[in-house]
């Protein structure tokens, strides 16, 4: 019986070569599945025809742009998700969505094998396979680039031998992954961490040093979800796309960092996430206005752990589900508007308002009408500092006795 393999297909060299290779090595029929998650500059119909031209028995395009925005990007906003306090999980957010659709395709076609184009050095192999283990543990996974030790030269030679309809001569010096939430660039001269990034590597953002007029935007949130820009309601995809354009035009969302990969190595990455950085900045500020202090303090720990789990490929995990239950509860009152100035590479909050605000002007003001009874503060400070005062007296007594 002929095996059926569902391949996560990107249209690039590695996954294109994988089609005839898997067919030969596994005596299999290959079904290519390409997921549209809002990546710029890619014609999905061209990708579909390329897969068929490389020998796939079927090729499917899944338009998951709105799903990705609403069900993956917006939860990242609610969690203020920044891995290592900087990276907005550009690639990590798309992988569980892709896994979900690979499993659906496998069920539809009766496939027993799922394949991806990841190498053994990156995080994505874990994200794909941990997701598959959670959703469909019966499926076998084959990763040609990792499992058969492919090099780029071997892949090019195989493509030429099979006369595959792909460009195998143009060699980009970078490895690039992109979607609606942002863009990730690595390898090439960036592997020397002393080398600064150059303008040529950027696509989602303009040079923040160029002179231009600032752009002001008001973002409306309802229970932690962005729902409108400048008072105009938009779908999740539309809202992120417009913010990418506007914040990207101001050079916002550029990140150059050395990060800790799950596989244990450090990697230099350059990211662009204009909408992601802007939305998280706005959401964090609205939380400052609407969330009670102790909840807010604890949520910062929850947010960090949520981001680590997603980065580590554990989107489909019990702990993430539990953390999201807390995050969802806390978002109940995160409703209101945040005004930001987008300019010179920064999204700067300049105003915030909310009907569920915990900010009380009469308590905060130092002017006439101050409702805060300052006479209560003296006793509070004395009691608050009492444990430290007692400990200091104890230490001084021991020191004196020892002398």
The binding site for L-citrulline comprises 87, 123, 127, 175, 259, 271
Task: With beta carbons less than 8 A apart as the criterion, state whether 102 and 94 touch.
Answer: no
Ramachandran bin of 144, using left for φ above 0, alpha for ψ from -120 to 50, beta for the remaining angles: alpha
Which helix (H) or strand (E) element contains residue 201?
none
Report the SS3 class of residue 88.
coil
* C-alpha to C-alpha distance for 72 and 83, rounded to whole angstroms: 15
Order of strands, edge to edge, in the sheet holding 232-233? 232-233, 225-229, 215-222, 336-343, 346-353
* C-alpha to C-alpha distance for 169 and 50, rounded to whole angstroms: 16
Residue 152 is a catalytic residue = no
Task: With beta carbons less than 8 A apart as the criterion, state whether 316 and 369 touch.
Answer: no
Q: Which residues are annotated as a binding site?
A: 8-16, 87, 117, 119, 123-124, 127, 175, 259, 271
Residue 14 is a catalytic residue = yes
Q: Which of 65, 95, 268, 352 is an active site residue?
A: 95
Q: Which residues are annotated as a binding site for ATP?
A: 8-16, 117
Residue 124 is a catalytic residue = yes
Q: Which of 14, 65, 183, 246 is an active site residue?
A: 14
Task: With beta carbons less than 8 A apart as the criterion, state whether 254 and 277 touch.
Answer: no
Which helix (H) or strand (E) element contains residue 33?
strand 28-36
Would the CA dihedral through 257, 260, 266, 272 be positive or negative?
negative
Residue 115 is a catalytic residue = no
Q: Residue 47, Cα to own-chain centre: how many angstroms?
A: 24
Q: Which of 146, 175, 305, 312 is an active site residue?
A: 175
* C-alpha to C-alpha distance for 97 and 148, rounded to whole angstroms: 26
Task: With beta carbons less than 8 A apart as the criterion, state whether 118 and 144 touch.
Answer: no
Distances (CA, A) of 344 to 249, 252, 253, 274, 333: 9, 7, 11, 12, 32
Which helix (H) or strand (E) element contains residue 10?
none
Q: Which of 50, 65, 91, 124 is an active site residue?
A: 124
* C-alpha to C-alpha distance for 88 and 307, rounded to whole angstroms: 8
Query: Hey, which residues does 341 pair with through a beta bridge?
Result: 216, 348
Q: In 37-143, which residue ranges form alpha helices assigned H by DSSP?
A: 44-53, 65-68, 74-78, 90-109, 124-135
Angle, to 10 degrees, between the axis of helix 293-311 and the axis of helix 90-109?
A: 60
Which helix (H) or strand (E) element contains residue 84?
none
Q: Catalogue the active-site residues.
A: 14, 95, 124, 175
């Amino acid at each position: 019986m002929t095996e059926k393999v569902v391949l996560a297909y990107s249209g690039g060299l590695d996954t294109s070569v994988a089609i005839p290779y898997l067919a030969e090595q596994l005596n299999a029929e290959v079904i290519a599945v390409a997921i549209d998650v809002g990546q710029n500059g890619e014609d999905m119909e061209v990708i579909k025809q390329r897969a068929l031209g490389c020998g796939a028995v079927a090729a499917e395009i899944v338009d998951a742009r709105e799903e990705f925005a609403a069900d993956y990007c917006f939860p990242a906003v609610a969690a203020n998700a920044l891995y290592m306090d900087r990276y907005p999980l550009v690639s990590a957010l798309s992988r569980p969505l892709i896994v979900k659709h690979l499993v659906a395709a496998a069920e539809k076609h009766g496939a027993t094998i799922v394949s991806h184009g990841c190498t053994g050095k990156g995080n994505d192999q874990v994200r794909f396979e941990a997701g598959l283990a959670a959703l469909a543990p019966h499926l076998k996974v084959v990763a040609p680039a990792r499992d058969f030790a492919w090099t780029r030269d071997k892949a090019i030679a195989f493509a030429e031998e099979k006369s595959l309809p792909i460009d195998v001569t143009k060699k980009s010096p970078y490895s690039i992954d992109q979607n609606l939430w942002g863009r990730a660039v690595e390898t090439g001269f960036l592997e020397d961490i002393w080398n600064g990034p150059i303008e040529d590597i950027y696509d989602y953002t303009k040079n923040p040093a160029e002179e231009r007029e600032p752009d002001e935007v008001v973002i409306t949130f309802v229970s932690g979800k962005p729902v409108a820009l400048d008072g105009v309601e938009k779908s999740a995809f539309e809202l992120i796309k417009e913010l990418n354009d506007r914040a990207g035009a101001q050079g916002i969302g550029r990140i150059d960092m050395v990060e800790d990969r799950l596989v244990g190595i450090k990697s230099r990455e350059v990211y662009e996430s204009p909408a992601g950085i802007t939305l998280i900045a706005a959401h964090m500020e609205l939380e400052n206005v609407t969330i009670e202090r102790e909840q807010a303090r604890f949520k910062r720990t929850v947010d960090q752990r949520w981001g680590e789990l997603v980065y580590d490929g554990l989107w489909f995990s019990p702990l993430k589900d539990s953390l999201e239950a807390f995050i969802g509860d806390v978002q109940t009152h995160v409703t209101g508007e945040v005004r930001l100035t987008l300019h010179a590479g920064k999204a700067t909050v300049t105003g915030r308002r909310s009907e569920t605000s915990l900010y009380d002007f009469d308590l905060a003001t130092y002017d006439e009408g101050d409702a805060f009874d300052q006479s209560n503060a003296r006793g509070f400070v004395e009691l608050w500092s009492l444990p430290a005062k007692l400990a200091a007296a104890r230490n001084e007594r021991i020191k004196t006795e020892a002398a």
